[in-house]
Structures are given as C-alpha cells and as structure tokens.
C-alpha cells in the first residue's frame, strides 16, 4: 500500500466575535471577555473582536469607506460568533444593520451564538438570528451559549455554559474547515 503524505497543517481559522449590543452601560463586554478567553485558548482559531459600537455603519446601507473596510473584514473571516443581548424579544438593531450591510462576505461561513438576557437568556434573539443568517447563506451551528439573568447571575465558572461554548467552538471548527476548503476550491454558487 503506498504511503501518503500527512496533510499540511491548516492555517488558523479567522474567528470574528461580533459584539451585537451598542447600548450605553451594556453588559456585552463581560460576556465577550468570557467567551474570547475560551476561544483564544483554542489553537484552531485566530480570534478577533469586532465591536459594532466602533463600526460606523449607516442605517440606509449606503457605501462609505468604513462600510468597505467592514465588508473586507467580514470577507476575510472563516467563522463568526455573535454575542447578542435580547431587547424586546429580539436582537439589537445595530446587529441587523451589520448583517444587512455585507452582501457576499457572510456566505458559506459558519456562525455561532452567545446570548444573554432576562428569563429567556437571549434565546428568542438567537432563534430570530438563525432565520436571518440562513438568508445570508450562512451555516448556523446547533450549539449555542445562553446566560439567563446575566446581570444578576453571571458566573464565569458555570459548567453548563463552559461546556456549551466548547461544543459550539468544536462545531464551528468542523464547519469552518470544511467550508474553507470548498470556498478555496470553487466559489459559492449563491
């Protein structure tokens, strides 16, 4: 039987962690710091934070130099995790603007969700986002992380949350590697 060369190690996957809340006194930085610490411990990822509070994205979806830079950054990513709050049973408007701003850069890339909120822990926002990202031709991984009553009860050592984060990242790696190979081989037909 002929010997085959071992596969070349793949370059790290570019993971963009998108901070969806732009409200004053938001709790998002606490959750983002918790998640990014775990993501950066995974050698498969080159992790960056894309905070929408710093993104000057016009609500009319017009083109600006800032939009061009945002679009390029999205295009260079291999995978995404959205950290989102839940407002009025939905996700933040700034997040919808960000998703609508980029047309092709999201396509054929996986996305995971870390949500926080009141009693639902942001899960209603996540379910709405799953519908939107499907329209963008993204792959929404099944596992998600949810923090109920986060401002009152956030615990960085929460075993269930830590386990869910690891499972979600493992699914992101699987999909990101598979989809990157396909994107490198042929353009996504969408």
Task: Walk me through the domains of the chain, giving residue ranges and CATH numbers.
Answer: 13-180 (3.40.50.360)
In the DSSP assignment, the letter for residue 115 is: E
Reported as type and span, the H/E element at residue 144 is: none
Task: Point out which residues pair with 79 in neighbouring strands.
Answer: 15
Q: Which residues of the chain have pLDDT under 70?
A: 1-9
Residue 95: both structure tokens together: 């997040």
pLDDT for residue 7: 53
pTM over 0.85: yes
| The length of the chain, given as a count of residues | 190
Distance in angstroms (rounded) separating the CA atoms of residues 149 and 3: 56
pLDDT for residue 190: 78
pLDDT for residue 3: 57
In the DSSP assignment, the letter for residue 90 is: B
Other beta carbons within 10 Å of 73:
16
- Residue bearing tokens 């959205």: 82
Helices (H), the chain: 28-40, 65-76, 93-101, 123-135, 150-153, 159-185
Distance in angstroms (rounded) separating the CA atoms of residues 50 and 87: 20
Q: Helix, strand or coil for residue 15?
A: strand
For the chain, give me the number of helices (H) and strands (E)? 6, 6
Q: Are strands 110-117 and 45-51 parallel, antiparallel or unpaired?
A: unpaired
Task: Compute the C-alpha angle 155/159/160, nearest 5°.
Answer: 100
Task: Point out which residues pair with 90 in neighbouring strands.
Answer: 87
Residues 6+ apart with CB under 8 A from 64: 56, 58
């Amino acid at each position: 039987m002929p010997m085959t060369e071992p596969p070349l190690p793949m370059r790290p996957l570019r993971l963009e962690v998108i901070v969806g809340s732009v409200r004053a006194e938001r709790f998002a930085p606490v959750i983002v710091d918790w998640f990014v610490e775990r993501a950066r411990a995974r050698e498969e990822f080159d992790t960056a934070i894309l905070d929408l509070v710093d993104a000057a994205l016009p609500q009319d979806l017009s083109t600006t130099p800032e939009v061009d830079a945002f679009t390029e950054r999205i295009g260079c990513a291999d995978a995404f995790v959205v950290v989102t709050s839940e407002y009025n049973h939905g996700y933040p408007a700034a997040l919808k603007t960000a998703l609508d701003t980029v047309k092709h850069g999201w396509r054929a890339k996986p996305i995971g969700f870390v949500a926080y909120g009141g009693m639902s822990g942001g899960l209603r926002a996540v379910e709405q986002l799953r519908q939107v990202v499907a329209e963008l031709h993204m792959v929404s991984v099944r596992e998600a992380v949810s923090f109920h009553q986060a401002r009152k009860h956030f615990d960085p050592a929460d075993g269930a949350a830590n386990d869910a984060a690891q499972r979600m990242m493992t699914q992101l790696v699987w999909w990101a590697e598979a989809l990157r190979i396909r994107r490198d081989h042929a353009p996504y037909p969408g």
